Amino acid sequence: MARIKIDMPDNYSFSTEMPVRISDINYGGHLSNDAVLSMVHEARIRFLNTYNYTELDIDGASIIMTDSAIVYKAEGFHGDQVQIDVAVSDFNKYGCDIYYLLSNKKTAVEIAHAKTGIVFFDYTERKVISVPEQFKDRILKEAE
């Protein structure tokens, strides 16, 4: 079976931290795969909030996740503080990709690489719409 590879960006425009909670631990005694996706979701919300956006209102548009990929690099354990660095790139007409680098804050060991594809969506019309230009411009300006 072919393994997923995520080409992570060199620079990140946002960073946040969150602890590994006991509810994030699986029967193997380490950070569970579903908890990683939840942490990525929380990081995305925090990132958007820095621009005064929500997932339902980005310059009048909403977003919807089209895909996600996670490559696990190391274990995370209860009580670890995870640093999540976020970058946005790969814009197309309808969306972009958001990248997440999860690392142990204390040891700098990379725990996971993740990517979510998003498209902009009109929930009233139930259809995909174009990326708001103001959002794209703001994100690209931050990446410089």
pLDDT tens for residues 2-54? 789 999 999 999 999 999 999 999 999 999 999 999 999 999 999 999 999 99
Per-residue pLDDT, 141: 86
Site of tokens 């990683």: 36
pLDDT tens for residues 53-79? 999 999 999 999 999 999 999 999 999
93 half-sphere exposure, CB direction, 13 A CA radius: 2
CB atoms inside a 10 Å sphere around CB 28: 8
**Looking at the whole model, is its pTM more than 0.85?**
yes
Q: Which of 37, 46, 57, 55 is nearest to 14 (CA)?
A: 46
Q: Which of 83, 16, 77 is nearest to 48 (CA)?
A: 16
